[in-house]
Structure 1
Amino acid sequence: MKKLALHWKILIGMVLGIIWALLSSSLGWSAFTIDWIDPFGTIFINLLKLIAVPLVLFSIISGVANIGDPASLGRMGGKTLLIYLITTVLAISLGLLLVNTIKPGKLIDEQSRIDNRINYEIWASSQGYQIKDGINYLQDPKFFERAKVISELSHSEIKEASVSDKLEKATQRKETTPLQPLVDIVPDNFFYSLSNNGLMLQIIFFAIFFGVCLLFIPNEKSQPVLTLVDGINEVFLKMVDLVMQAAPFFVFALLAGVVSKMAGDDIGKVVEIFKGLSWYSLTVLIGLLLMIFIVYPSILKTFVRKIPYTGFFKAMGPAQTLAFSTSSSAATLPVTMECVEQNLGVDKKVSSFVLPIGATVNMDGTSLYQAVAVIFLAQLHMIDLTFGQQLTIVLTTTLASIGSAAVPSAGLVMLIIVLDSVGLNPAWIAIIFPVDRILDMFRTVVNVTGDATVCSIIANGEDMLDYQGEKDPTETFDLDS
């Protein structure tokens, strides 16, 4: 086991965690798993988040200050944001192409879709919305009786607390001025921003501002600060090394807890949950896998010829498997940085600037999923969105993805805003809740892979890429120390 690559150890931990969860579910031990095993998964996530925020802060300060030339910084920042924007639009377009081709929402039985459509019209009428496609089932006499039953059911429906909570967050986000996102980036209390993971953009703003100011003061004044920053950065990287030694065991606990919470003591629940949403899940999954194995390698091969296909995935293996198990780009960030720097040969000046920004603004997996989810939910309710409405989805999803926190299931809150932008019921997110966590794991792998791809392209353009060929990924972390 000692010579086994880290990502294989993590994969083994994941598989054993799922097997344990299913076994404990069938034996009625789910409560034991949730009470005594799942907390170690939470500890793992907390440890990674503990490291991630200060690592972002000191890495960006170090990266910006070590660039040495404000003009180079501006050029690198512009290219970074432009490429991240292009990959996001590519991801959304791919999602729309797949969902309009496969039409997963139309593969559900027709009676269920008719009931959903009537429910939608009742909701739209109560909210004062215009019916999207101009067709009105409530005016058709043959649906009167069914509409009456559904109307009575909808009034007695009790919203899930989790749905209401996300609706409230989305409402607060929506009731702002057009320039509110810009205002939100500038913190009024930096220490408050540090203590709130959702305010990563504010931390990045402060770090870039601090690093830029270091460029404009005399070297004898800035050097002691830079030495301190670099030293602190090394301490946090060593923390990553130590935590990753136990990653396979933590991941076992994490996956065992996730599946146990879904299944309870009835193993059939997992099967039923996934059966009903299988076509939707498959559509999202195809899109995400195409991004990981086709789109990103193609982009990388176009701009960086020296990194081979297998070499890239071998280098990023530990970060990708960790992203899958944690569902958090922010939690995976320290490992992503190590993989990119030590396995792909990206200069720390580039990685410490590009990757933290990517973990916050580059949410390609989330963007693709949101595009598929909105069209799927529309199809499920027999609503045909026009090309113009789908373009609105592209624009809204692109902007919403920038604001998504790099934590598990944050995309659901943003999905509410996207649904609302095209006049659909935000409460429909409850329909896709059951499979969201599993798909979230794949979405995070896409996000992390995209970050590494863009980082490699920027480094190659700045002549700061020194790829030495494939190496054993276990060397990325001092597992023998």
Structure 2
Amino acid sequence: MSLTSRILIAMVAGVFIGSLLNLVTTQGWLSAGMQEFLSAYLVDGVLDVVGRIFVASLKVLVVPLVFVSLICGASSLGDSNRMGSIAGKTMLLYLLTTAVAVGTALMVALLTGPGEGVDMVASSAYVPRQAPPLSDVIVNIFPTNPVRAMADGKMLQIIVFALLLGYAISRSGEAGVRIADFFRDFEQVIMKMVEVMMALAPYGVFALLVKLFAQLGVGAILDLGKYFLTVVFVLLIHGLVTYSVLLRSLSGLSPLIMWRKLRPVWAFAFSTASSGATMPITMRAVERRMGVKNSVAGFTVPLGATINMDGTAIMQGVATVFIAQVYNVDIGAVGYLTVILTATLASVGTAAVPGVGLITLALVLEQAGLPVEGIALIIGVDRLLDMVRTAVNVTGDAAVTLIVASSEGAIDLDVYEDPKADTLTQAVVVSAETDIKA
């Protein structure tokens, strides 16, 4: 069975069993002792431990993979004029897609009116962490201690240091060649670790989804149904239409092939709700299954996992309209233009801050003159929406990578168009399972 099929089965089973557990524990169908066993020992015990170990195992690969991949990419580009071209195209495309995302979200939300007729009061005031000033964000991009930046997981600082080091390696003659070879070998070792984690993914996915739906149940979606469906609808439009149009028009590549080869990546993104944790899988997919050279993928994918927040921008756009309608506040055309600008810049400016989605939403609401405590209205379904918008984010990472690679002639079209490349995932799983058994 392919990895995609195994993960899909795990997802369906996790949602079903989690919802069933939520139902039997909330309806009082079981004895107190059995309910305590299911809640305390199974859901919050075994499944919670398995899920957290799985996510931690993915995240442990993020910093070394970003660091090594960017060094390899920069060292191969640093001796030419292509680095500036690739960096410029990548940043422009990420900012463009984010602006389109939040603009589409506002337009659809204004047409559907997710907050009209909603009589809700925030059950608890949400106290957001303060987003840092833009000047501090720009200064903090440049590391003073790269080792500490890697220990703290400050991705923007890691990216800057890796690019500088890679550029220096490319200009260091024979010594640089030896160091570059070391990092390329190191990258292969890390990708082997990714293969092992892919073999174990279905079990982690199952544990995460059972715990999530056992705690929330399907009722959380019904309470905010119109808002939830509006966000999901815009996410689908952006993920399946916007990226497809950009990919076809700017590179001539078939979006259908990209979708087929991204299925395992979507499964990882949906279950972990973390672009960073999914980044090793995204990297492998665009390189091994779509034929993008590491010199491009090693730059665009880590950067996208750090700053490409299209899914979050969509949530912010719909949430802004929803909260404005709930509180009967008309922010006007200028206010909505401010939302587009703020959400676009915030997707880059607060990328290294934990809880970036709600933090930047607080920033957007403040700029629009809306009550920040309105965030408490949507927290209940935000975890579920986060899973969907993460899948959209990784799709954007892959689409931009393909567009940039195509413009630079850094993609193997035979690999991209080869349907047999899908079988690489199954080969990876078999190889990884063999290594585990050995």
Kindly state the Cα deviation for residue 444 of structure 1 after the two structures are TM-superposed. Answer: 0.5
CA RMSD of aligned residues (A): 1.8
Aligned to 2:161, which of 193, 196, 206? 206
SS at match of 1:69: coil
**Structure 2 residue aligned with 1:123:** none
Asked if residue 442 in structure 1 is aligned to residue 404 in structure 2, the reply is no
Equivalent position SS for 1:244: helix
CA distance in structure 2 between the aligned counterparts of 1:47 and 1:204, rounded to whole angstroms? 21
In structure 2, what is the equivalent of residue 480 of structure 1?
A: 430
For residues 181 and 408 of structure 1, the distance between their equivalents in structure 2, rounded to whole angstroms, comes to: 14
Question: In the alignment, what sits opposite 1:340?
Answer: 286
Distance 1:11 1:333, change over 3 A: same
Give the Å deviation of 1:406.
7.6
Structure 2: distance between partners of 1:213 and 1:427? 48
1:195 matched residue in structure 2? 151
Distance 1:421 1:318 in 2: 38
Q: So what's the TM-score if we normalise by structure 1?
A: 0.83
**Which residue of structure 2 lines up, in the alignment, with residue 303 of structure 1?**
250
CA distance in 2 between counterparts of 1:431 and 1:340 reads: 38
Aligned to 2:140: 184
TM-score by length of 2: 0.91
2:325 to 368, 379, 385: 379
Tell me the secondary structure at the aligned position of residue 465 of structure 1.
Answer: coil
1:181 Cα deviation after fit: 1.5
Q: 1:404 to 1:14 in 2, by over 3 A?
A: farther
For residue 149 of structure 1, what is the aligned residue in structure 2?
none
Among the aligned pairs, what percent are the same residue?
Answer: 37
CA separation of 1:472/1:65 partners in 2, compared to 1, >3 Å: closer, same or farther?
A: closer
Q: Counterpart in 2 of 1:275?
A: 222
SS at match of 2:116: helix
Partner SS, residue 370 of structure 2: coil
Identify the match of residue 39 of structure 2 among 30, 37, 51.
30
After superposition, what is the alpha-carbon deviation per residue over 1:237-277, rounded to whole angstroms, capped at 9, x for unaligned?
000000110101110001111112224xxxxxx41x32221
Is the CA contact 1:186–1:202 (under 8 Å) kept in the aligned structure 2? Answer: yes
Deviation at 1:27, TM superposition (A): 3.5
CA drift of 1:391 comes to: 0.7
Classify the secondary structure of the residue corresponding to 1:100: helix
Query: Pick from 197, 205, 210: which aligns with 1:251?
Result: 205
Which residue is equivalent to 1:223?
A: 177
- Residue aligned with 1:246, SS: helix
What is the identity, as a one-letter code, of the residue corresponding to 1:242?
V
One-letter amino acid of the structure 2 residue matched with residue 478 of structure 1:
V
Paired residues in the alignment total: 414
Note the C-alpha offset of 1:216: 2.1
Mapped contact 2:18–2:214 kept (Cα < 8 A): yes
Question: Which letter does structure 1 place at the counterpart of 2:223?
Answer: G
Deviations 1:355-381 (A, max 9, x none): 101111111111111111111100111
Q: Secondary structure at the residue paired with 1:382?
A: coil
Q: Residue 480 of structure 1: SS of its match in structure 2?
A: helix
Q: Which amino acid aligns with 1:284?
A: V
Q: Which runs of 4+ in 1 moved over 6 A?
A: none
Pairwise CA distance, 1:76: 0.8
In 2, Cα distance between the equivalents of 1:14 and 1:179?
42
Mapped to 1, the partners of 2:171 and 2:178 lie a distance apart of 15
* 1:129 aligned partner: none
Q: Which residue is 2:435 aligned to?
A: none
- Cα displacement string for residues 326-358 of structure 1 (whole angstroms, at most 9, x for unaligned residues): 100000000001110111111111100111011
Long gaps (5+) in structure 1 = 120-156, 264-269
- TM-superposed CA distance for 1:404, in Å, is 4.3
Letter in 1 for 2:148: Y
Q: Judging changes above 3 Å, is the alpha-carbon distance between structure 1 residues 330 and 345 closer, same or farther for their aligned structure 2 residues?
A: same
- List aligned pairs for 1:299-378, cutoff 5 A: 299-305=246-252, 307-378=253-324
Alpha-carbon displacement from aligned partner over 1:263-313 (angstroms, at most 9, x marks no partner): 4xxxxxx41x322211111111110000111111111111222x3232111
How is 1:142-157 mapped onto 2 (pairs within 5 angstroms)? none
Q: Match for 1:287 among 214, 234, 252?
A: 234
Out of 164, 171, 188, the residue aligned to residue 234 of structure 1 is: 188
1:224 is aligned with what amino acid? R
Q: Which runs of no fewer than 5 residues in structure 2 stay unpaired? A: 26-37, 432-438
**Do the aligned partners of 1:319 and 1:448 also contact (CA within 8 Å) in 2?**
yes
Larger Rg: 1
Q: Distance in 2 between matches of 1:405 and 1:181?
A: 9
Q: Please point out which of 9, 13, 17 is paired with 1:16.
A: 13
